[in-house]
Amino acid sequence: MLTDVELLRRMERAPLRTARYADLEELGSNVWRALDRLAEQGAVARITKGVYTVPPAGEDGRTWKPTIEAAGLAVATARFGERNAILMGLGAARHWTAIPRAIAVTTVAVPELRQPVRLDGGGTVHMIPRDLDRVEAQLEDTELGEGLVTTPRQTMYDLLMRPNQGKLPDAARDAARNFRGQVSGDDLAEICEWYGRANDAVRDMVRDLRYGPFVA
């Protein structure tokens, strides 16, 4: 019979310290009882229906909650597997501080379309289907461990091309402008060439980054 400690150690070794009940139940018929006990003790925290995480650094799961960005990436990773989810768009903008204040949504690139996920701690995770091999991303530290995040130039491109992803278009456009200190015109132009397409907002940003804002 699986002990509570064994279950906890198994979850700690999972990507981003997070696992689905559906993936744990094969360990024994008592897993759901063990999860309930661990949650009551604050050793684990439920972040959405059927998904649990081990709080970092000895935090008490009864009072601690992850940021929406870390939680969203963890939920997507638990569903699709390690390195099969990438924090992007609004979520990546928060990571790179292009959005200075917390917002109630985040966006994660995944291999297949999924419905938005409501988090227990508040907020919504939008899972955006993409070809992950064609997304420029890098490993970054989150409070739950290392995860993939789109690079600043990829994030700027995504925000300008599809500002409605995440349902906060004004925040997306503001965030894109806030990347101007991190992304050069050549950086953004390279991403455009890689994808082979750009809308007016992207072309205007490339021009502004290279030559300064146009003044009529």
The two tokens of residue 30 are 């008592």
State the angle between helix axes of 152-161 and 169-178 in degrees (0 to 180), rounded to the nearest 10. 140
Query: Residue 200 — very low, low, confident or very high, per pLDDT cuts 50/70/90?
Result: very high
Instruction: Assess contact for 126 and 166: CB atoms under 8 A.
Output: yes
Q: Which residues pair with 76 in a beta bridge?
A: none
Count other C-beta atoms under 10 Å from residue 78's C-beta. 25
14-47 confidence digits (pLDDT tens): 999 999 999 998 887 789 999 999 999 999 999 9
126-171 confidence digits (pLDDT tens): 999 999 999 999 999 999 999 999 999 999 999 999 999 999 999 9
As to burial, measured by CB atoms within 10 angstroms (0-12 exposed, 13-18 middle, 19+ buried), residue 24 is buried
Q: Which residues pair with 6 in a beta bridge?
A: none
Is residue 215 predicted with pLDDT exceeding 80? no
pLDDT of residue 167: 96
Is residue 49 predicted with pLDDT exceeding 90? yes
66-119 confidence digits (pLDDT tens): 999 999 999 999 999 999 999 999 999 999 999 999 999 999 999 999 999 999
Q: Which residues pair with 106 in a beta bridge?
A: 125
Distance, CA of 174 to CA of 136 (rounded, Å): 21
Query: Residue 214 — very low, low, confident or very high, per pLDDT cuts 50/70/90?
Result: low
Parallel, antiparallel or unpaired: strands 124-129 and 105-110: parallel
pTM of the model: 0.95
Instruction: Give the chain's radius of gyration (CA, Å).
Output: 19
Q: What is the DSSP letter of 122?
A: S
The two tokens of residue 86 are 């990438």
